[in-house]
Amino acid sequence: MRDTAGAVLVSAKVVLEPSQRQVATDNHGEFRFPNLAPGTYTLTASYVGFKQFITTVSVVSNQTQNVAAMLEVASDSDTVIVTAPRLRGDAEAINIERMSAEIVQVAPAGVITSLPNTNIADAIGRLPSVSLERDEGEGKYVQIRGTEPRLSNLTINGVNVPSVEVTVRNVKMDAIPSNGIDRIEVYKTLAADQDADGVGGTVNLVTPTAQDKPTYSLNGTAGYNPP
């Protein structure tokens, strides 16, 4: 599922009637309804900031029916909101939170880089029900809903990251820069596809994907001391 500019829409809501089944699109904008009975169905796709996409699908026994859905911007006044990097990221974060079967908080890259976060721990600490264990003023360990840092897991793109210290299970997050992450996902409940040792919760860092054209990023700091 994509928009008119060809960008993939992640976690778009797709409903199939009259079966009343619904799914969310994956990171590639794809969705699947397996084991459907033959017949005619109405497929509706929705995404925050876009018009609904509605089409009729005829399902034949032992055949796969493909649907290429393209969503348009809801109105001209929403064009800037949908295409601007930060607000597009906010819309994607809202859809991920809305369609997830778990309790999850998402911070997109635009929100992370718009605030003075010295490392990724400081960025995570700005999310609801998350506190930090600090070292010399900088965030170091993440505590989710008041649990100890050792009860929280850290994953990168869904892959578990172990601690580099032998006697400590906590992963130091002050070494991870905040400007190299596409979005932060903080899961506060467990799911079947996650490691069971994340009792307190799981922090998943999603890295950026390669772009079609070269991009440049410039960061800088400045200060002033009056005479």
Name the residue ranges covered by the structural domains of the chain: 2-80, 100-206
Torsion of CA 183, 189, 193, 195, to 10 degrees: 90
Q: Do domains 2-80 and 100-206 have the same CATH topology?
A: no
pLDDT in 10s for each residue of the chain, 227 residues: 888 888 888 888 999 988 888 888 888 888 988 888 888 999 999 988 888 899 998 988 888 888 888 888 876 554 444 444 444 567 777 877 777 778 888 888 878 887 888 788 888 888 888 888 887 777 788 888 888 888 888 888 888 888 877 777 878 888 788 777 888 888 888 777 777 777 788 888 888 877 667 777 776 777 888 87
Question: What dotted CATH number matches 100-206?
Answer: 2.170.130.10
Q: Name residues whose C-beta falls within 8 Å of residue 148's C-beta, 6 or more positions apart in sequence.
A: 200
**Contact, 158 vs 68, CB < 8 A?**
no
Q: What is the pLDDT of residue 75?
A: 64
**What is the model's pTM?**
0.56
Return the DSSP state at 211.
P
Domain 2-80 has CATH 3.40.920.10: no
User: What count of Cα atoms within 13 Å lies in the side-chain half-sphere of residue 209?
Assistant: 6
Looking at residue 151, what DSSP letter applies?
G
Determine contact, residues 53/71, Cβ cutoff 8 Å. Answer: yes
Are 2 and 70 spatial neighbours (Cβ–Cβ below 8 Å)?
A: yes
What's the confidence (pLDDT) of residue 211?
67
Q: How high is the pLDDT of residue 44?
A: 92
State residue 88's pLDDT score.
53
User: How many whole angstroms separate alpha carbon 11 and alpha carbon 27?
Assistant: 8
